[in-house]
Chain A
Amino acid sequence: MGDPKQVNINSGGTAANTYDAIVVGSGISGGWAAKELCEKGLKTLVLERGRNVVHIKDYTTSTMHPWEFPNRLELTEQDREENPVQCQAYDEGSKQFYVKDKEHPYIQSDPFYWIRGYQLGGRSLVWGRQTYRLSDLDFEANAKDGHGVDWPIRYKDIAPWYDYVEQFVGISGQAAGLAHLPDSVFLPPMEMNCVETHFREESKKHFPDRPVIHGRVANLTRGWNGRGPCQFRNLCDRGCPFSGYFSSNAATLPVAAATGNLTIQPHAIVYQVIYDERTKKASGVRVIDELTKKTTDYFAKIIFLNASTIATASILLQSTSNRFPNGMGNDSDQIGRNLMDHHMGSGATGAYMGFKDQYYSGRRPTGIYIPRFRNLDEKTKRADFLRGYGYQADGERREWKDTMLAGDDFGADYKKSLATPGPWSIWMGAWGECLPNPDNRITLEQDKKDSWGLPLVNVHFKFGDNEKAMRKDAQQAAAEMLQAAGFENVQPFDYHTTAGSAVHEMGTARMGQDPKTSVLNAHNQIHEVKNVFVTDGSCMTSSACQNPSLTYMALTARACSFAVEELKKGNL
Chain B
Amino acid sequence: MNRRKAILSFVLIGGGAGAGFSGYTWFRLQKTPDIGYLDQNRAFIADLAETIIPATDTPGAKAAGAEVIIIKLIKDSADRKTKNIFIDGLKTVADHCQSEYHNNFSSLTAQQQQAVMGWVRNKSAKQPGIIGKVKDKVLGKSFFHILKEYTTIAFCTSKTGASDTLAYNFIPGAYNACMPMTPGQKAWATK
Q: Which of A's residues lie within 8 Å of B, judged by CB?
A: 65-67, 69-78, 80, 88-89, 91, 115, 126, 128, 130, 190-194, 197, 231-234, 237, 344-345, 356-364, 366-367, 392, 394, 396-397, 399-405, 408, 410-412, 414-416, 418-422, 427, 429, 493, 495, 501-503
**Pairwise interchain contact B175-A364, C-beta atoms closer than 8 A:** yes
Known pairs A233-B171, A400-B152; A193 contacts B4 (CB<8 A) = no
Give the secondary structure class of A's interface: loop
The answer to whether B125 touches A67, judged by C-beta atoms less than 8 angstroms apart, is no
Q: Which chain A residue has the least Cβ–Cβ distance from B149?
A: A404
Take A74-B77, A194-B177, A397-B187 as given contacts and tell me if A408 and B1 are in contact as well, using a CB distance cutoff of 8 Å.
no
10 A-B contacts (beta carbon < 8 Å): A71-B73, A126-B2, A130-B3, A344-B1, A405-B11, A408-B144, A411-B117, A414-B53, A418-B53, A495-B10
- Whole-angstrom distance from the CB of A52 to the nearest CB of chain B? 24
Are A418 and B165 CB-contacts (below 8 A) given A359-B179, A360-B178, A495-B10? yes
What residues of chain A lie closer than 8 Å to B185, measured between beta carbons? 359, 420-421
Known: A76-B76, A411-B114, A415-B165. A88 touches B9 (CB 8 A): yes
| Top 7 closest pairs, chain A to chain B, by CB | A362-B175, A191-B177, A362-B172, A66-B157, A404-B152, A72-B157, A232-B172
Contacting residues, chain A, for B97 (C-beta < 8 A): none
Residues of chain A within 8 A of B9, CB atoms compared: 88, 495
Which residues does chain B contribute within 8 Å of A69, judged by CB atoms? Answer: 157
Docked complex Cα distance between A360 and B177 (Å): 5
Closest beta carbon of chain A to B140's beta carbon, Å: 14
Interface residues of B in 145-191 (CB under 8 A from A): 148-149, 152-154, 156-159, 162, 165-166, 169-181, 185-191
Residue B89 lies at the interface, judged by CB distance under 8 Å to chain A: no
* Complex Cα spacing A88 to B52, Å: 30
- B153 with A72: CB separation less than 8 A: yes
The one of B2, B148, B171 that contacts A237, using a Cβ cutoff of 8 Å? B2
CA distance A400 to B171 in the complex (A): 20
Residues of A near B152 (CB, < 8 A) are 400, 404, 418
- Cβ–Cβ contact A412 & B187, under 8 A: no
Chain A nearest CB from B137 CB (Å) reads 13
Residues of A within 8 A of B96 (CB): none
B131 part of interface (Cβ distance < 8 Å): no
Instruction: Determine how close the nearest CB of chain B comes to the CB of A407; give it in whole angstroms.
Output: 9
User: Per-position contact with A for B42-81: 1 when CB-CB < 8 Å, else 0?
Assistant: 0000000001111010001000000001001100111100
Partner of A401, one of B11, B69, B172, B177: B11
Q: Is the CB of A415 within 8 A of B56?
A: yes
| B174–A362 touching, CB < 8 Å | yes
**Which residues of the other chain, B, contact A399 by a CB distance below 8 angstroms?**
187-189, 191
Max chain B C-beta neighbours (<10 A), residue from A71, A73, A422:
A71
Given contacts A364-B177, A396-B191, A419-B186, 19 further A-B contacts (CB under 8 A): A67-B159, A71-B77, A72-B73, A74-B153, A232-B172, A344-B6, A360-B179, A361-B179, A367-B3, A404-B153, A408-B126, A415-B54, A418-B152, A419-B165, A421-B185, A427-B7, A429-B3, A429-B7, A495-B10
Task: From the candidates B117, B149, B159, name the one contacting A405 in the complex (CB within 8 A).
Answer: B149
A128 to B1, CA, bound (A): 6
Q: Are B175 and A190 in contact (CB under 8 A)?
A: yes
Contact, CB under 8 Å: A392 / B188: no
Q: A410–B148 contact, CB under 8 A?
A: yes
Complex Cα gap A502–B2 (Å): 8
A493 to B11 Cα, complex, angstroms: 13
Q: Are A360 and B175 CB-contacts (below 8 A) given A408-B125, A419-B186? A: yes
Given A66-B190, A361-B169, decide whether A415 and B1 contact each other with a Cβ distance below 8 A.
Answer: no
Q: Given the complex, which residues of B lie within 8 Å of A232, measured CB to CB?
A: 172-175
Q: How many whole Å from B66's CB to the nearest CB in chain A?
A: 10
Q: Is the CB of B52 within 8 A of A411?
A: yes
Name the distance in Å between A528's Cβ and chain B's nearest Cβ. Answer: 36
Q: How far is the CA of A358 from the CA of B54 in the complex (A)?
A: 28
